[in-house]
Amino acid sequence: MEKMGFVRVEVLGEQTTLDKRRLRLYPLFTEEFLDWLFDQFGGESPIYTVHLRGMKPSP
Amino acid sequence: MADEQSMEPALRWSDQEAARIIRESYGAVVPGGSTGVADSLYTAEELAPLPAPVREMALGLGNPVRYADPRPGETVLDLGSGGGIDTLLSAVRVGPSGHAIGIDITEAMLEKARGHAAMMGLQNVEFTYGNMESLPLTDKSVDVVISNGVINLSTKKGQVFRECFRVLRPGGRLVFADSVINGCLPKEVLDSEAAYAG
């Protein structure tokens, strides 16, 4: 983001793990798919969600 | 934050394949009557203005509206607006003197979002077709760009950030929620259309 010109780039709030319990909420995924996915991960999710903010500088 | 090269992982999909996967996956989403995603990301107070069908179509990963804090009179752009929850929340916050614009490449989602806006009687919101690598907006035309779990789907993330910068007014802000990974995804996951769409 900084390379594109944004300033004051920061992570906001806390990171949250996208674990199986959370992913079950989404209608995009079947239980069978989630079982397969977490088998690939060895049972532990390496995926997190974050919030990021960047500002376009004022002149 | 990251340099452009590191923002472009070795995706298996061409631009056309990626667009097809997104349209097929998100176009097929049928709300199952659950508001679990919305309830996990937004407070009851935040959700109060939204009818149940809007809450049932929440598919985001966070709550960018909360952090962007749109103010009355501002113009907000939502990249990959889906069923419209964040665009509609923004429209409520900016009020009649402001404007909220949702863009998406999935026509089925745009139709749902337009229906949700009509349900809420909002006049200051529009949902339009567009991709985030080539935004259908003029330079310096918005105050806030938000996105919720969508930028990770782009095959050209650097271009997305360049476009956000172009359409933002000086002093404007980009606030987004998205997924990040600690390490590398296994090849089998990288090759999975379902994993990519999710």
Three-state SS annotation for B100-156: EEEEECCHHHHHHHHHHHHHHCCCCEEEEECECCECCCCCCCEEEEEEECCHHHCCC
Chain A, nearest residue to B3 by Cα: A3
Enter the DSSP assignment of B84: S
What backbone torsions phi and psi does residue B116 show, to the nearest 5 degrees? -65, -40
Q: What does pTM read for this prediction?
A: 0.88
| Closest CB to A59 among B63, B170, B173 | B170
pLDDT tens digit sequence for B120-134: 999 999 999 999 999
CB B88 within 8 A of CB B131: no
Give the distance, in angstroms, between the CA of residue A2 and the centroid of all CA atoms in the same chain: 20
Give the nearest partner residue to B179 out of A4, A9, A48, using CB atoms. A48
State pLDDT tens for residues B169-192: 999 999 999 998 877 777 777 777
Instruction: Delineate the domains of chain B, giving CATH numbers in brackets.
Output: 5-197 (3.40.50.150)
- Is A59 within a domain? no
- If pLDDT is split at 50, 70 and 90, which confidence band does B153 have? confident
Q: Cβ separation of A37 and B67 shorter than 8 Å? A: no
Mean pLDDT across B146-154: 93
Which two structure tokens, joined as six digits, stand for A41?
């991960």
Nearest residue of chain A to residue B177 (CA atoms): A51
Q: How many domains does chain A have?
A: 1
Q: Which pair of structure tokens corresponds to residue A4?
A: 């594109």
Q: How far apart are CA B106 and CA A53, in angstroms?
A: 26
- Asked if A50 lies within 8 A of B177 by C-beta distance, the reply is yes
Q: At what angle do helices B15-27 and B107-120 cross, to 10 degrees?
A: 50
Which positions ≥6 away from B162 have C-beta within 8 Å?
A4
Instruction: Please state whether beta strands A7-17 and A47-55 pair in parallel, antiparallel, or not at all (unpaired).
Output: antiparallel
pLDDT value for B82: 94
Alpha-carbon gap: B164 to the closest alpha carbon of chain A (Å) = 9
Q: Which residues on adjacent β-strands are paired with residue B126?
A: B101
What tokens does A1 get? Answer: 């983001």
CA nearest A55 in B: which residue? Answer: B173
Nearest to B193 by CA among A56, A9, A36: A36
